[in-house]
Amino acid sequence: MKKFLAITAIVLGIGIQAQHTKEMKKDSGIELIPKAGINIATQSIKNVNGEKSKTSFQAGLGVNIQTGLRNFSIQPEVNFMSKGTKIKNNFGSQTYNFNYIEIPVLAKYSFGPIYVNAGPSIGFLMGKSDKIKSAYGKTNTVDFGLQMGAGLAIPAGPGKLIVDGRYNLGLSNISDEKGVNVKNRGFAISLGYAIPL
């Protein structure tokens, strides 16, 4: 009888510990968010008219971390983002692609399934084509900016389906030529999935 009680106590103890561990993991407040979508990009170019938007690919990975404050979290990301513009003139149109690895850190506030976010970002230019060099001359490889937007987190399976819309406001002059001012702009739309860890 004593052996039975001892074994029962051990099994119950293991079960309670396993349940406690499971609950801790469930309440860890960390989500991994792979995502992909499009970026509708353009540029603000001083003394140049005819800039048009171009649609390109973007994808990345975010980590949403609960802060302990109700509905408030921090979401750092690493994204591939294709920016640039399309310039139309009397001779036709030319498309210029600037591909960045971009790292935003966003403050995120949720209202149920709806959320808003905003924060700074830093982008690193991945190479420069001869076409870019010919049209823009010297360009900076680092681009600072702000991102702001909103989205929807829909429960689906163990995680959430994320629909995100975000405006990218470039603050840096990406041109290193005297008297030239070029700043990136864009609106990104992505679809992702938040995986609880």
Between CA 74 and CA 182 the distance in angstroms is 30
What is the model's pLDDT at position 6?
Answer: 52
Other beta carbons within 10 angstroms of residue 48's beta carbon come to 14
pTM of the predicted protein model: 0.80
Distance CA 83, CA 170 (A): 11
Q: Give the residue with greater pLDDT, 15 vs 115.
A: 115
Contact yes or no for 139/128 (Cβ under 8 A): yes
Give the burial string for 121-142 (b: 16+ CB within 10 Å, else e): bebebeeeeeebeeebeebeee
SS3 content of the chain, % helix, strand, coil (to 5): 15, 65, 20
One-letter amino acid of 102 = E
Residue 4 — pLDDT band, cuts 50, 70, 90? Answer: very low
Average pLDDT, the chain: 86
What would the pLDDT profile of 54-84 be if each residue is shown by its tens digit? 999 999 999 999 998 989 999 999 999 999 9
CA distance 32 to 23: 18
- Does residue 26 have a pLDDT over 80? no
What mean pLDDT is predicted for residues 27-41?
Answer: 91
Structural domains in the chain, sorted by start: 28-196 (2.40.160.20)
| Residues 135-178 pLDDT 10s | 888 999 999 999 999 999 999 999 999 999 999 999 999 998 88
